[in-house]
Each structure stands twice: as C-alpha cells, then as structure tokens.
Amino acid sequence: MYPPKKIIYIGNQLRKGDERTLTTIDTLSNHLRSEGFLVISASAKKNKAARLLDMLFTIFIHKKGTKAVLIDTYSTQNFWYAVAVGNLCRLLQLPYIPILHGGNLPTRLKKSEWQAKKLFHGAKINVAPSYYLLEVFQREGYQNTICIPNTIETKKYAFKHRASVLPKLLWIRSFAEIYNPLLALKIIEKIRELYPIATLCMVGPDKDGSLERCKKYAKEKNLPVTFTGKLSKEAWTALAKDYDIFINTTHFDNTPVSVIEAMALGLPVISTSVGGVPFLLENKKDALLVPDDNTEAFVEAIVHLCNTSSLTKVLVENARRKAEGFDWENVKHLWDALLKD
C-alpha cells in the first residue's frame, strides 16, 4: 500500500477568542484529507511575524516527500506572506500552487509587478476560483493558471421554496468598506418608504470600524436593522429561513462563497455587478445585477422581485442548480487531477 501524498497548505488559520473563522484552508484541507492526502497546514499564530516564521519553518521541516505547497494568496498585506513562501519554495525546489483570493488581485499584479511575476511565473500552476481571475491572470501573461471553483456542500443548505417574496433583506459579509455595508442601510431606508414592513438583517464581524458606523447610522435614522455579529454557518443558514432576499453590496469581489450559499438556500440574490460577480451570476437568469453603489437600482430590483413572483421562481431555481455545481463531489475531480499528477 502506497503512503498518502503529502501536501503542505499555507494560509491564515486565525482564531478570535474561542471562535474559529473557517476559511479556504480549513475547508479545502479537510476535503483533501477525505481524498486520501496527508495535509500539513500553517499557520494559526496571531502575531504576524510569528505567523510568517511558522509558515516558513513548517515548509522547511516537512519539505521531504512533499508533493506540492498550496499557498492562499490575497491582494492585501497577506500578499507578502505568499511572496516569502514562494521564495522559499523556489529555493528548496518545491512545486507550489498559489490559490488566488480577492477581487482586487488585478490591482496587486500592477502595484507589485516584479514580486508578482516571480511568485506567479515560478508556480507549478496558479489556481483561480473564478473565470474572472483566470481571464485577468492569463491576460497579464500568466498562462500557467487554471480555474478550480470554491466549494460548498449543498446537502448542508436546505432549499426553501419561495413562491413570492417581501423586502425582508439579508446581508452577510465582514463589515469593511470594500464590501460597502452602509449601502445596505441606505437601501432599507429607501425601501421602507414603499414597504413599511421591510426589514434588514446584517450578519458578520467588524474589520475596519464599519460595524460601529453602520450601527450609528441605523440608530440615527431609526432603521429596522438587526446586527447579529459573527454567526456560525449553522446559525446563519437557520436564520436565513426568516428572510426573502439576499443583497450583496460589495465594491470589489471575486467569487463570494456567501452568495453561492444564498443561492443554495433559495434566496433570490441582488448584487452589484463588480469584479468576478458577472462571471458567477447571470442577470435575470439566476440573480439580478445592479451598478456599484447605487441605492435606487437596488430598490428598483427589490420592488421588481416583490411584484413578480414568476421571476423569483426562475431566479431561485436556476441559482440552486448553479450552486450544486460548486459541490465538492463535482469539484474534487479537478483537485485530484492536479495534485495526483
């Protein structure tokens, strides 16, 4: 019997108190283990310098027999973790695979062009979770890029049939300016002029002080908004049954898993048409797409959904079918082919 193929997975596994924010490194690591891979991951260190050292040390001590190093690669400050890890992998002649995250990575390619070229051209392959990033990377000359989408387990998302909807709005994301949470409050402020019963629930942790700004705005305007803070997946998917429309207000995006999850639950999605979103959603087929930072367009889309039950039915049924395409049972074959090669 052959020993399992060893994979090192580098990314952020951070805790806040006793809570765990599950990210790609958690879900994909577990999926790969279920496929028979030996996965060693790093790092859970809170201190940034200690985290980087732990990442590099993990690679160095486990380099023998490693098939590949997976590197979660972001557009923000964490980009430099990926650069350092890539440098070590090339020095040790270890094949590495950046997994691309963040709708703003195209900006990083230009802002840090020299480091990006070393990192991405030196990779065995770059894995984009969306055709948006795939197109961007290949257009910038990174032909060693393929698309393997993010995954969900659709069996964990109970589909609710909504024959018609009311403006009971659900927003799920981290509270950060890049995701434009304040727009959700402006939407509920406007829509309740037409539908006094309208409500909004906002789920997610604070990232840059946006949560307090949103709470202040909601209080000043006396808006019917519930702020839950961060919830477990089980908690927010149960909560979703009480709401009718999912709104995604982001300025930048790649392939947001929260949107795919909403589609799986049967929530009609209204989203800004930014970044990778038009590569994920098709307007009037499985979602409604509106311009960035446009309150009026969101309100019009909500009213249209509330007044057109036939459209709601088409959107949610098509969206559920699309979400099922992201199930691990479908996506795992792509990872198997890449890592067992």
Pair (108, 161) in one structural domain = no
Pair (127, 168) in one structural domain = no
Could you give the number of structural domains in the chain?
A: 2
CA 90 – CA 267 distance, rounded (Å): 45
Residues 255, 276 contacting (CB under 8 angstroms):
yes
Task: Check residue 16 and give its pLDDT.
Answer: 46
Average pLDDT over residues 121-145: 95
For residue 292, is pLDDT > 50?
yes
Task: Give 17-72 pLDDT, tens digit per residue.
Answer: 444 456 788 889 999 999 999 999 999 898 999 999 999 999 999 999 999 999 99
CA 226 – CA 246 distance, rounded (Å): 14
Pair (55, 186) in one structural domain = no
Pair (178, 74) in one structural domain = no
In-domain check, residue 25 = yes
In-domain check, residue 165 = yes
Pair (121, 13) in one structural domain = yes
Pair (198, 231) in one structural domain = yes
Confidence of residue 291 (pLDDT cuts 50, 70, 90): very high
Q: Which residue has the higher pLDDT, 14 or 117?
A: 117
Q: In what order do the strands lie in the sheet with 6-10?
A: 38-42, 6-10, 66-73, 96-100, 126-128, 145-147
Pair (259, 176) in one structural domain = yes
Pair (68, 173) in one structural domain = no
Q: Provide the pairing of β-strand 225-229 with 269-272.
A: unpaired
Average pLDDT over residues 199-209: 96
Q: What is the dihedral of CA 20, 333, 37, 4, to 10 degrees?
A: 170
Average pLDDT over residues 176-195: 97
In-domain check, residue 257 = yes
Cα distances (angstroms) measured from residue 151 to each of 24, 195, 264, 283? 9, 36, 12, 22
In-domain check, residue 23 = yes
In-domain check, residue 1 = no
Task: Check residue 19 and give its pLDDT.
Answer: 47
In-domain check, residue 189 = yes
In-domain check, residue 199 = yes
Task: Check residue 145 and give its pLDDT.
Answer: 97
Pair (210, 107) in one structural domain = no
User: ∠112-121-107 over CA atoms, to 5°?
Assistant: 30
For residue 1, is pLDDT > 70?
no
Pair (138, 166) in one structural domain = no
Pair (106, 59) in one structural domain = yes
Give the predicted TM-score (pTM) of the model.
0.86
Residues 85, 10 contacting (CB under 8 angstroms):
yes
In-domain check, residue 95 = yes
CA 134 – CA 79 distance, rounded (Å): 18
Q: What CATH number corresponds to the domain at position 253?
A: 3.40.50.2000
For residue 196, is pLDDT > 90?
yes
Pair (32, 21) in one structural domain = yes
For residue 112, is pLDDT > 70?
yes
Task: Check residue 254 and give its pLDDT.
Answer: 82
3-state secondary structure 249-285: CCCCCCCCHHHHHHHHHCCCEEEECCCCHHHHCCECC
Confidence of residue 340 (pLDDT cuts 50, 70, 90): confident
Q: How much of the chain, in percent, has pLDDT values that exceed 70?
A: 96
For residue 15, is pLDDT > 90?
no
Q: What is the mean pLDDT of the chain?
A: 93
Q: The domain containing residue 69 runs over which residues? A: 6-151+327-339
